[in-house]
Structure 1
Amino acid sequence: MLNISDNKIKLQQLDQYEAVKNLTNRPHYKILNKIIAGVSIIGIIALFLPWTQNISGTGAVTTLKPSQRPQSIQSIISGRIEKWYVQEGDFVKKGDTILFISEIKEDYMDPNLVQNTKSQIDAKKQSLQSYGSKVSTLLEQIQAIEREKVLKLEQAQNKIKQSVLKIESDSMDLVAVKTQLKIATTQYNRSVQLNKEGLKPLTDIEEKRLKLQEVEAKIITQENKYLISKNELINAKVEINRISAEYTEKVSKANSEKFTALSSQFETDVQVSKLENLYANYSIRNGMYYIKASQNGYINRALQSGLGETVKEGTPIATIMPSDYDIAVETFVNPIDLPLLAKGEKVRVWFDGWPTIVFSGWPNMSYGTFGGEIVAIENFISVNGKYRVLIAPDKNEDKWPVQLSIGAGAQTIALLDNVPVWFELWRTLNGFPPNYYKPSPTITTEKK
């Protein structure tokens, strides 16, 4: 306000008026002021109270192990439904028959298929034994041929030795005959000379000439015998080669028959293995016509109905709920809260249909909640845009209600760090995440 005048404005005091004095002296205003002051003091004190940071999530009741969850019973083979042995709601034990199906594939419709396959296996095994006996016989035959070959070669070697000795004998006889020829020639010439001198008669010359002719004829015979002995030696050597070639051919022929028999034996062995595989498959397939329960539980729902309906392999036929299971809760948390969770962290859980009074910041003051512990955290985001967390009952707290059913709704609060209330209000107003917190690991000492 501009100060353009010298006149001073005098402010009037309200306390000089009686009405104002009466208003200030009324007692309920004093009480209200005290209440406001007390509430303010309490509010300021409450700002310093401890507050448990938490992460909330929603989920449903499930089982701890995958094998304990509701599952479908499927048909391994194609078939046609012939008979049901159970109905919905029945309790079945592991191995109990649920239904019977008949064959629809033409390759397996023969009622004597297993027996016929068994007969084929027996026939092939006998054929396999026959080939084995043939191989053994051929081995014995080869050994006999080898022994005979050795004897024949020894006989031929002896004949060669005999031929060599005979050649030496004939050679010596030839040398002796040649000596006799020289002597006979000398005697004949001496007789002729003496006859010319008149000392020997003509008859002596004729005797010497006759003897000379006999010796000449004998030397021709002896040379012939010598050549025959050489020829016999050559024939003995040729005989050795002939024997070797002959018995080599026999052994090769026997080995060829042996290898042929072995090949047939191996082929038959392969056929026997194939038939045994088929026999096992047919036998197992016969047992698949009766679809049985995989574990103890209750038949929840029959997915295939009626008789004569055809089902393919892998088609779900009924669902079964195991009778024995460990209960758990699966909850979903936002991606921003995932780094704050860890296995072994404590969680408070309350279920739909159970009366509860929940104070998220003061879990000890809550009513109707149950203790839980994180056992698994999924590393891949779910279709709902959140991460799945599996919670098991805390063994150190009260047991969860036995009346809980699989699929019932549940809500969870994961407990984090303890902070003052003013810090939590400041964090919430600024949009900051809760403090990063990890439970302290449990130290175990090994027994020596």
Structure 2
Amino acid sequence: MNRLFEEQKWNYYVSVIPIMIFFIIFLIWASFSEVDEVVRGEGKVVPSGQTKVLQNFEGGIISKILLTEGDKVKKGDVIYNLSNAFFKADLKTKEIELLSFEASAIRLKSSIANKKSIEFPQEMKDKIPDIIENEKRIFLEDLENRTRKIEIEKDKVSQKKLALKEAENKFDNLSLELNLAQSNMSILENLYKKKVVSRKEYLSELSKKQSIVTRLDETRNRLPILKEEIEEAKKRVESVKSEIRSKLLKQYSSLKIEINKLIEKNRANKDRDLRKFVVSPVNGVINKLYFHTIGGIVKPGDKMAEITPIDDTLTIEAKIKTSDRALVWSGQDVSIEITAYDFSKYGLLKGKLVSISPDSFEDRSGNVFYIAKIRANDYEFAPDLPILPGMVANVNILTGKKTIIEYILKPLKNIKRNALSEQ
């Protein structure tokens, strides 16, 4: 009997003690092991900005359609090519007009620098050969006219110098004549005193001497006048040169103003020319094309396409139950499952809770919820696996951590709390 009791006791220890040890170990593990406490929500990927409607303000004829609806685009990608024959002709006319003005400016600048020849860039020679030849002809004619005007004034200086030289020679000759006349008068005066010559002869010689003195004085007085006239003539030469240069500078200045105006107009025209390319203003997806036919006519202001923006940041709007509102706050970590891709294969995206709507919403079914805005750390799984607006997403917002023992005891706590209550 005792032996049987001992065997039963041993069997009890063998079966119960391991269970107790396992239970103790489980309690220890459950007390320290933590699991994530999450709030679940369902939502969808939303555009990072408002849908962009592309318009064309110039109009034209569609020459190319490079993309289709649903295509992913980057900022600057061309969607349509337009052509406008009238605008092209006007642009060409303005370009020729600008080159013509610039050729005239080169001519005037060469004239201002008093160059004897002129050269034009090869581009001008190729694009406006007739105008270049005309500018060369005008340059040579202008050079000839300027040279002639200056030479006329220089000739006047030469004439004045010649007159001065003649007056100086005349002064020298009259000075010699006066010396001779004075010598003769000295001799005649002695002879007159001695009554050798008559009074008439004496007075005649005296008159000749006085005539020489008068002409000598006139010539002496004329010399500074002639010198002053030479200086005036020289100043006139410089004045003519200055007038010519001033006139050229004035023409050049006026022409540069016109050139700058044309450059601004051409810059604006080139901007208009760039509008023949209808390009995407943002990274995104083509939501809608309004024209599908090559050769279609686009009027100024017509809508061309709609682009749904896709930024480098992925935004998700998820519905959160009102009962979970107290648990979720901005800055919490979020795990995101995009239902279009198998999460077991592609995994989950990580993100942050950015904001929560200040008030709740109610849908048609009567469900009340808050809107949580979540920003993902990545905007795609891979370049060939884009995440597009409208895709459904399941989100898990990490609100904290709990030990396993707390999860086990939670129902018991609820039973205890409700045990002595009555409805």
**Unaligned 5+ runs, structure 1:** 1-33, 103-107, 193-204, 342-346, 357-366, 430-448
C-alpha separation in 2, matches of 1:39 and 1:250: 120
Post-superposition shift, 1:168? 4.3
Post-superposition shift, 1:390? 1.3
C-alpha separation in 2, matches of 1:89 and 1:382: 33
Q: Which amino acid aligns with 1:58?
A: G
Distance 1:292 1:166, change over 3 A: closer
C-alpha separation in 2, matches of 1:159 and 1:424: 133
Aligned to 1:171: 175
C-alpha separation in 2, matches of 1:148 and 1:260: 24
Aligned to 2:207: 217
Post-superposition shift, 1:266? 2.0
Query: 122, 126, 132: which one pairs with 2:100?
Result: 126
Aligned to 2:31: 48
Structure label with greater radius of gyration = 1
Q: Which amino acid aligns with 1:390?
A: A
Distance 1:369 1:59, change over 3 A: farther
Post-superposition shift, 1:295? 10
Distance 1:59 1:181, change over 3 A: farther
Contact 1:184 1:212 in 2 (8 A): yes
Distance 1:266 1:424, change over 3 A: farther
Aligned to 2:12: none
Q: The residue matched to 1:58 in structure 2 has which SS?
A: strand
Q: The residue matched to 1:392 in structure 2 has which SS?
A: coil
C-alpha separation in 1, matches of 2:148 and 2:408: 104
Aligned to 2:374: 388
C-alpha separation in 1, matches of 2:392 and 2:87: 51
Post-superposition shift, 1:219? 0.6
Q: The residue matched to 2:378 in structure 1 has which SS?
A: strand
Distance 1:320 1:146, change over 3 A: same
Distance 1:253 1:182, change over 3 A: same
Contact 1:371 1:394 in 2 (8 A): no
Contact 2:338 2:348 in 1 (8 A): no
RMSD: 5.9
Q: Deviations over 1:201-223 (max 9, x none)?
A: xxxx3x35454234212212211
Distance 1:268 1:89, change over 3 A: closer
Q: The residue matched to 1:74 in structure 2 has which SS?
A: strand
Q: Which amino acid aligns with 2:32?
A: L
Post-superposition shift, 1:247? 3.0
Once structures 1 and 2 are overlaid, which stretch shifts more, 115-124 or 232-241? 115-124
Distance 1:387 1:174, change over 3 A: same
Contact 1:57 1:331 in 2 (8 A): no
Q: The residue matched to 1:250 in structure 2 has which SS?
A: helix
Once structures 1 and 2 are overlaid, which stretch shifts more, 415-424 or 176-185? 415-424
Q: Count how many residue pairs are aligned between Structure 1 and Structure 2.
A: 341
Aligned to 1:187: 191
Q: Which amino acid aligns with 1:236?
A: L
Q: The residue matched to 1:75 in structure 2 has which SS?
A: strand
Post-superposition shift, 1:233? 1.2
- Give the TM-score normalised by structure 2: 0.55
Q: Deviations over 1:219-274 (max 9, x none)?
A: 12211220231243144124224414543453344234323422442244235324
Contact 2:79 2:280 in 1 (8 A): yes
Aligned to 2:55: 75
Determine what percentage of the aligned residue pairs are the same residue. Answer: 12
